[in-house]
Amino acid sequence: MLPVLLSIWIACLLFTAIMFLYRSRLTRDEEDQIFLDESFAHERSAQAAIAEKVNKIQPLVRTAIWLTAGTTVLLAVYYVYDIFNQFK
């Protein structure tokens, strides 16, 4: 049981790390403040495309975080259960 739990936990952890890295790579070109004159229309469209991509993967990032947290809790419960069984 433990190898299965650990492999699921590691897979969830890797997926979460990959999603965070991908999101940070998307947002590296995002500006905190831009001036939206007519001469900066290309900047506006580039920033809108970045925001659209980030919003598109945001549910996956949240799901990855919840899966990792859930498998961490399951792993902790398994270890506590195993400790109590050893002292019986």
pLDDT tens-digit map of 4-13: 999 999 999 9
Residue pair 29/50 in contact (Cβ under 8 Å)? The answer is yes
Give the model's pLDDT for residue 45: 80
Residue 87: is its pLDDT beyond 70? Answer: yes
CA 67/CA 76 separation, integer angstroms:
14
Is residue 64 packed enough to be buried (19+ CB in 10 Å), middle (13-18) or exposed (0-12)? buried
pTM over 0.85: no
Residue pair 25/50 in contact (Cβ under 8 Å)? The answer is no
- Top pLDDT among 2 and 69 is at 69
The residue written with tokens 């190898």 in the block is 3
All structural domains of the chain with their residue ranges: 2-29+42-86
Length of the chain: 88
Give the model's pLDDT for residue 73: 95
